[in-house]
């Protein structure tokens, strides 16, 4: 049992830039703890240490002898430990991600992680012993009224039973965790946060440099792309070492556990069947020609180019007005879209803006990208952005706020059942984007504005679906290749380019240096095989939104019920009230048809 902050991940469409955006909010972390040296921090650390020690003394070696009431008390104590330890880990992690190059914050985060790892080590026995309880005995326990609602927890533990190690090895892996993958994660984060890029004589970080890839000035986009390539190439050996090490660690653990593939652990944690993910992947890859290939050919024509370069992928259209969107306008846009769906949704979102639940500005050392962290169920979520006034930044706000609303609603499930598997964790975020997009679309004042909005949405969907599945294929190929030995930078570059050409299509040619762009993407480091969750969420939301348009009456309540369920139900049960089934291979074609339908509209405007 480990209590660490889920690592932040780049939002699929996150961008950044520079400008004056108004008064940007910052986190108020005092709802977790007043300060890192506050007595409450020591109080809770002492409590966790004692609670874990007492838990082990009361239950280790005795799980099979418990009745339903005894197991209910046991899991409630376990849940309380998760809550207090999670509060400590969340606070330390959030402070760290505000400034990853600050030595004091990094030390505090590491120290908290180390202590929680040591304190919770006595709990490793819990899932191991539960999985040794005979099925009929566990079923008898689950007839207890209080315990029965925790059935999903036991079912997920049972799925891990074939891959369990001995008690001693599980304890060893737990104890080594802070100097294992998490240490490499931290090295990656600190390296990326400290990278410096110089474009037109101005030194800037990764966020500000990547936003130049959306600049209206093509020469500036090219300069940024080439500078990113130059800096990544200088650091490519370190990034290759990180990827080689983490992939090998994964292969070793998979071999010891007997997992059939490197992706198995992710599928188990997502509570999704491998064949469902494969059906999604195959449907998206088969659709490349009618999605990304077709759209980028349109964009090539709009830009008047013989070939698109990588710095043209997210370029604004020639008819697009360049403007900076202030924070107040972004807030109003998203809140009105949420309220238009249901006033309750805007009401849940309001405290994020008023109570210090959002950290929006770009600051030196701040982690890149955007995320929403649920913290613990007796507190509230926090949203991190790097807001810099781009239209896509508004959509990122809508996306992360959707996560936040989801996390608030799911909190009533309690600490052990509130966390939603990644495949469904993207549902509310992508739905929030869709609500915001549809609101903006209805307000279009001219055919040109409508065209720009549609094109922007198609690009976002391609980034969320096509690009993320290409990322997933890259990871699958990298982990497979790592089985054959150490991978050179050149070998990883080659794998990257193989999926990029396939996914982006013949409209593109690729500059020298683009082959190293895999190296700064944190998904691959922090959460291997995470990325298919974006495509899963987008396809799911497209189908959900179609159901909403077809039958709006009563949809809102069903939607809120789905979000409130958190991780207490399988995706088949959550989608059943909407008449949807993700296990049907044809399901994904329905979701992809919405993207191709938007491209049809764009072609009809030509």
- Does the residue 339 lie in any domain? no
Question: What's the first-to-final CA gap in the chain, in angstroms?
Answer: 57
pLDDT score recorded for residue 4: 39
The alpha helices in 483-531, defined as continuous H runs, are 489-504, 523-526
| Per-residue confidence (pLDDT) for residue 20, from 0 to 100 | 65
* Mean pLDDT (10-residue bins), the chain, 606 residues: 40 44 90 98 98 97 96 97 96 95 94 94 93 95 96 92 88 82 91 94 91 93 97 97 96 94 92 91 96 97 96 90 88 97 97 97 88 95 92 91 96 94 84 92 87 91 94 97 97 97 96 96 91 89 88 94 93 90 84 93 90
What's the domain count of the chain? 1
CATH number at residue 28: 1.10.1370.30
Q: Give the CA dihedral 108, 109, 115, 117, nearest 10 degrees.
A: -170
Give the per-residue pLDDT at 131: 93
Range of the domain at 267: 1-193+211-320+449-554+566-606
Q: Which are the contacts of 463, defined by CB distance < 8 A and separation ≥ 6?
A: 12, 13, 314
In-domain check, residue 350 = no
CA distances from 56 to 76, 191, 217 (A): 14, 39, 63
| Residue 453, domain member (yes or no) | yes
Q: Say how far apart CA 100 and CA 109 lie, in whole Å.
A: 10
Cα 186 to Cα 246: distance, rounded to the nearest angstrom: 12
Nearest Cα to 330, choosing from 383, 401, 395?
A: 395
The pTM of the full predicted model, rounded to 2 decimals, is: 0.82
- Residue 378 tokens read as 């007796």
Beta strands in 35-155 (DSSP E): none
* Residue 122 counted as domain residue: yes
For residues 85 and 92, what is the distance between their CA atoms, to the nearest angstrom?
A: 11
Cβ atoms 517, 309 nearer than 8 A? no
For 183-197, give the DSSP string: HHHHHHHHHHHT--E
H or E element, residue 218: helix 218-234
What is the pLDDT of the chain when averaged over all its residues? 92
Phi, psi (rounded to 5 degrees) for 383: -110, 130
**DSSP secondary structure string for all residues of 255-300:** HHHT-SSTTHHHHHHHT--HHHHHHHHHHHHHHGGGTHHHHHHHHH
Do 571 and 421 form a contact (C-beta atoms < 8 A)? Answer: yes
Structure tokens at 475: 């990871």
**Cβ-defined contacts of 53-58 (< 8 Å, 24+):** 53/122, 55/81, 55/122, 55/123, 56/122, 56/123, 56/125
């Amino acid at each position: 049992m480990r209590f660490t902050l889920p690592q932040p991940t780049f939002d699929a469409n996150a961008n950044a830039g520079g400008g004056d955006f108004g008064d940007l909010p910052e986190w108020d972390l005092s709802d977790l703890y007043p300060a890192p040296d506050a007595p409450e921090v020591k109080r809770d650390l002492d409590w966790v240490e004692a609670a874990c020690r007492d838990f082990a003394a009361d239950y280790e070696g005795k799980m099979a002898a418990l009745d339903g009431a005894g197991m209910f008390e046991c899991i409630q104590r376990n849940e309380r430990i998760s809550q207090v330890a999670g509060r400590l880990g969340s606070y330390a992690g959030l402070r760290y991600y505000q400034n990853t190059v600050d030595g004091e914050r990094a030390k505090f985060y590491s120290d908290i992680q180390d202590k929680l790892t040591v304190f919770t080590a006595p709990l490793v026995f819990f899932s191991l012993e539960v999985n040794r309880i005979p099925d009929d005995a566990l079923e008898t326990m689950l007839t207890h009224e209080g315990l029965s609602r925790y059935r999903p927890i036991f079912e997920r533990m049972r799925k891990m039973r074939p891959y369990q190690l001995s008690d001693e090895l599980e304890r060893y892996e737990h104890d080594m965790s802070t100097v294992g993958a998490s240490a490499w994660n931290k090295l990656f984060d600190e390296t990326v946060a400290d990278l410096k890029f110089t474009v037109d004589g101005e030194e800037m970080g990764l966020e500000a440099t990547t936003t130049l890839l959306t600049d209206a000035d093509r020469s500036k986009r090219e300069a940024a792309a080439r500078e990113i390539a130059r800096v990544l190439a200088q650091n490519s050996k370190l990034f290759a070492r990180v990827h080689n090490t983490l992939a090998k660690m994964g292969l070793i653990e998979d071999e010891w556990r007997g997992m059939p593939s490197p992706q198995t652990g992710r599928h188990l944690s997502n509570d999704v069947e491998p064949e469902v993910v494969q059906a999604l992947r195959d449907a998206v890859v088969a659709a490349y020609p009618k999605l990304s290939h077709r759209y980028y050919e349109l964009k090539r024509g709009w830009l008047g180019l013989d070939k698109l370069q990588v710095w043209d992928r997210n370029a604004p259209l020639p008819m697009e007005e360049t403007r900076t969107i202030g924070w107040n306008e972004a807030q109003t846009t998203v809140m009105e879209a949420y309220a238009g769906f249901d006033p309750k949704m805007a009401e849940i979102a309001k405290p994020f803006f008023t109570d210090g639940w959002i950290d929006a500005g770009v600051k030196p050392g701040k982690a890149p990208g955007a995320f929403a962290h649920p913290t613990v169920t007796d507190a509230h979520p926090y949203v991190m952005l790097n807001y810099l006034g781009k239209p896509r930044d508004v959509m990122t706000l809508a996306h992360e706020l959707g996560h936040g609303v989801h996390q608030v609603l799911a909190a009533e499930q309690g600490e052990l059942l509130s966390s939603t598997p990644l495949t469904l964790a993207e549902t509310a975020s992508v739905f929030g984007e869709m609500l915001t997009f549809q609101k903006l679309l209805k307000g279009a004042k001219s055919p040109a504005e409508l065209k720009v909005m549609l094109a922007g949405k198609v690009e976002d969907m391609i980034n969320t679906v096509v690009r993320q599945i290409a990322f997933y294929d890259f990871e699958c190929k990298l982990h497979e290749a790592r089985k054959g030995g150490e991978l050179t930078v050149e070998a990883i570059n080659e794998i990257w380019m193989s999926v990029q050409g396939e996914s982006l299509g013949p409209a593109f040619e690729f500059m020298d240096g683009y082959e190293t762009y895999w190296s700064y993407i944190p998904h691959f480091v922090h959460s291997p095989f995470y990325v298919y969750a974006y495509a899963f969420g987008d396809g799911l939301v497209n189908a959900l939104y179609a159901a909403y348009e077809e039958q709006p009456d009563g949809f809102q309540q069903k939607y809120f019920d789905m979000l409130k369920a958190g991780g207490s139900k399988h995706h088949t049960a959550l989608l059943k009230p909407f008449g949807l089934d993700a296990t049907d291979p044809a399901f994904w074609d329905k979701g992809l048809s919405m993207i191709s339908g938007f491209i049809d509209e764009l072609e009809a405007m030509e």
